Homo-oligomer: A and B are copies of this chain.
Amino acid sequence: MPITHLPLNALRAFEAAARLGSMNAAATELGVTHGAVSRHVKALEERFGLPLFERHPRAIVPTREGAQLASELAEAFDRMQIAVSRVQPGPLTLSCSSTVMMRWLIPRLEKFKRANQTIELRLNVNYDNVDFIREEISLAIRTSIYRAPAGAVAETLIHEEIGPVCHPDYADRLGLSKPEDLLRARILGSATRPQAWTDWAAALGRPELQMTPNEVYAHFYLVIQAAACGLGLALAPRLLVDDEIRSGHLVAPLGFVAGPYELQLWIADHLRGRVDVRTTANWIRAEMRAM
């Protein structure tokens, strides 16, 4: 089949269906109905004379050839997206977790905007992996729990220091001064980082301490909020509670210790040359260093 007659739209529909494992999802991504995707895939299969998916009642599974084709097509479409984005540069998009956004970025955003009035900043909330090309992400702040995906380069921002924090009165009332004291306290956990307390015990050199949360919040910033309201103890990276400690809303009765993770900056490989990306990356590095 000559390159001049490749059924491009069908290939795109197929690639989306294979990547998402669902015609329906692909249809949503492409902004059409599932029928349209189904027809595209069928047309491709007829053209190639081989099945690209195994059809199961509620799911489709790519065949070997289908999976192979889809992954190579994905690369090709990525390149195309990059090519177009170079002549049509979108806004600079920074991705970080809701917690980093609440407790670190938003408090500094006015300052950033004042210093960089020409940079149009778009924010994206996401705490784990993200497709830099498909979602047009320029920069991401992430913990090293996750690995930077292909197409992005990672660099260390800071090594996380972690420690239990709570309302000052709460610490006084319970008399918290050594790790064992926490066993009497109300432990607050986060669904997004369930192993946080265990990590801390390990970092302390006290892995035997069983710190199972009494209460689990969906987002980490809620845990901090709950701690600040006197509901118990949160285990927080210093970075995210420093302001509250300075203002006296929180205390860290046992201080902080070096945690197992670092905070990283991920930069979209194909955007490393863009001025606004470099500027913003530098700003993030400087702000982190100033902590």
Contacts and interface: CB of A to CB of B under 8 A. Distances in A.
A8 B3 CA distance: 13
Contact of A6 (B3, B16, B31, B81): B81
A118 interface: no
A76 B69 contact: no
Contacts of A76: 76-77, 79-80, 83
Copies of the polypeptide in the assembly: 2
B75 A87 contact: no
Interface residues of A, number: 39
A224 interface: no
Given A4-B29, A87-B65, A88-B1, A82 B77 contact: no
Contacts of A117: none
A29 B3 CA distance: 10
A147 interface: no
Given A9-B9, A31-B4, A79-B75, A69 B84 contact: yes
Given A8-B8, A134-B3, A79 B72 contact: yes
Nearest to A50: B87
Interface string A84-124: 11111010000000000000000000000000000000000
